Structures are given as C-alpha cells and as structure tokens.
Amino acid sequence: MDLGLTSKACIVTGASKGIGLETARRLAAEGAGVLLVGRDGDALAAAAREVGGIACAADVTHPGAAAAIVAACEEAFGGVDVLVNNAGTTFARSLDDLTDQDWHDQYALHVVGPMRLMRLVAPKLAARGGGRIVNVCSSAGKRPSQSNGAYSVTKAAQLSLSRLFADAHAKDGVLVNAVAPGPVSSPLWMADGGMAEQLATAGGISRDEALAVQEAKVPLGRFAEPGEVADVIVFLCSARASTVTGAAWSADGGAVAIIV
C-alpha cells in the first residue's frame, strides 16, 4: 500500500529511542524527510544517521523550542507536512508523593510543549493545503494509574488538546489524531532504572514479577513492541487516513476496556 508519504516533511519529537525512533524509521522508509527531535544530542545524532534523517537537538518544554524546531524542518525540507508529538516520560510515584514540581514538569512536557508546536505548525499545514498531526498520548490518559498520577492527568489533557485542535483545523485539511499506547517494551520500561525496576522496588518484588503484573493487565498478555505502535502512528500520518480526525486510537492490547 502506498501511504503517500514520499517527500513529505515530517517532525518527530522524542525520536532518539523507542516509539519515536521507530516512527522516524518507518517515515523515512516511506520516502519522507524526517527531522528527529530530542534532548540527548549524541543519541539523536546516532538515530538520525541510522534512519537517514536530520537531527535537531531541542527540549520541547523550552519556550523557544517550537520555533527552532519548525525553522530547522523548513530549512532542511522546505516546509512541514507532518508533526508527531511523541516526547514524553513518566516515573512510578504515588499520588501522595508527587510534588508541585512533578505536576508542573509533566504538564510542560505533555501539554504545553505539544501545544506550542501544534499552534505554530497547524496554520503552516493549512497554507500547504493540509497535513497531519499525531499526538502520542497513553492509555493512562483514558484510565488513570495510581502509580503515575501526574502522567495520567497530563496525558488526558493531551487527548483533549488533540480533539480541540482537530475540531479547529479540520476545515483546512489539517487532520489531528492521538494514539494511546499501553505498556511498551521501550527503554522507558525496560532500561536500567526504568518503570519496571521502579515498580519492582515500590512493590518489594522482582523486576520480572513487576513485568508479569503489568502483562496480566493486558488482554493480549504482553507489552507492545515500539514498532507496533509506530505502525499506527505512521498510518495516521499518511494519505490513507484521509477521513480520520479527532480520534484517539488505542494501541494498548485491549488494556482499557472502553470503545473510545
């Protein structure tokens, strides 16, 4: 199937690893020009070389980051056609232990950063005759988790943000959607000190036991691979998703038992 992404100019944030890297890889394989955005310059440069894209080191929570990212994409590819807001992170912490700074940091990363990029990119996409925006949210935004409350609430806000922009820009051919993954076998979960180890420590159990607890919550019985989520994202970026806007596609193995 031709996804119609050849020569499209794409921005992917959080692109040095996990879902973001796999999304960048698939977009590049479809013939798109890809600007990979992330905070770790060395890891980002390696990722860009691997997929054949352009690296742009930036922290999306910085007030000037959106303008710098868009300018870099326009310089490299002559414009912007696709934006994937994937940058994000979480940590295991009880509701009582979350600080004001935790809440602020999660909101800045998952809501304000993506909003600034969408606010800047959407009119540019409209001027080019349309385009795609995909926000990588979370199943936790549909069903909050007691172990990462600030993440859950800000991901719910990101889902709402997606719908808000979708409604505002559909008439211009700018299609805005969200993808809501569940647990993913990415560095966020699997790396040393990642979510698996954090939950194991908090629960007084082994890392393998903590992973088994999470897998048991998923009807498919396993974590998703980053590439499986990236496949959904890339489809929503494509010409084939021409009537999809304002949607929040679950890619969580059935973990959230609602049809929304």
- The position carrying tokens 């352009």 is 54
- DSSP string of 137-200, one letter each residue: --GGGTS--TTBHHHHHHHHHHHHHHHHHHHHHGGGTEEEEEEEE-SBSSHHHHSTTSHHHHHH
Q: Of the listed 151, 165, 223, 235, which one is catalytic?
A: 151
CB-CB contact of 207 with 243 (8 Å): no
Residue 240 DSSP code:
G
In DSSP notation, 61-91 reads: TSTTHHHHHHHHHHHHHSS--EEEE------
Residue 141 one-letter amino acid: G
- C-alpha dihedral sign at 84, 14, 46, 226: negative
Residue 107 is among the residues annotated as catalytic for this protein: no
Residues marked as catalytic:
151
